[in-house]
Amino acid sequence: VHQFCEPVVTGLRFEGASAAVLLPSISAALADPDLTAVILCPSNPFLSLDPILATADLRCRLQDCVAPVVAVSPMIGSKAFKGPTAKIMQELGHAPSTLSVAHYYADILDGYVIDGTDAKISDDIEKIGIKIKTAGTLMDSLDQKQRLAADVVAFSETIGRECSRSRMGNQNV
């Protein structure tokens, strides 16, 4: 942060993540038959979500979760909502795009909410086994935030648990 993300990122490591243990309440929640959805908010996949997913066996737990796992894309086209997401994706060998993020999370996602301007890639994402919802994902006002939250929850309810998580591993692009 103090270097304003100027250094080139060549890799990331999350010390202690493999030794970390999930809280029993998280394990129980993910196995609870009454859980209706797990929602991954539009965050930087590498700096915000990966440290959490690297904890113990959380990624495996999400693959086996009783509820649909839905993410909101942190990208609109090749641009990130904010921060260094696009820069880091490119430096780590990923095309900075909504589709690349879908591939990165293909092993855990049942649904993916993308901005309406990315609707042209919906078929490409559905081909990797992820259901798509287009919505206004830019959140510049409270009204936009509330509308997106309602869209994501409604979308997750329509997905149910149709996906069996038989996807072939993480298909990182």
Tokens 């797990």 -> residue: 38
| Domain assignment of residue 56, given as a range | 33-159
Domains held by the chain: number: 1
**Residue 145 lies inside a defined structural domain of this protein:** yes
pLDDT (tens, 9 = 90+) of the chain, 173 residues, equals 555 667 788 788 888 888 888 899 999 999 999 999 999 998 888 888 988 998 878 988 999 888 999 999 998 988 887 788 888 888 988 899 999 999 999 999 999 999 999 999 999 999 999 999 999 888 889 999 999 999 999 999 999 755 444 433 444 44
Residue 57's identity, in one-letter code, is D
Tell me how far apart the alpha carbons of residues 173 and 168 are, in angstroms, rounded to a whole number. Answer: 14
- Look at residue 9 in the predicted model and tell me its pLDDT: 83
Tell me how far apart the alpha carbons of residues 148 and 154 are, in angstroms, rounded to a whole number. Answer: 10
* CATH, residue 134: 3.40.50.10680
**Residue 166 lies inside a defined structural domain of this protein:** no
- Read off the pTM: 0.85
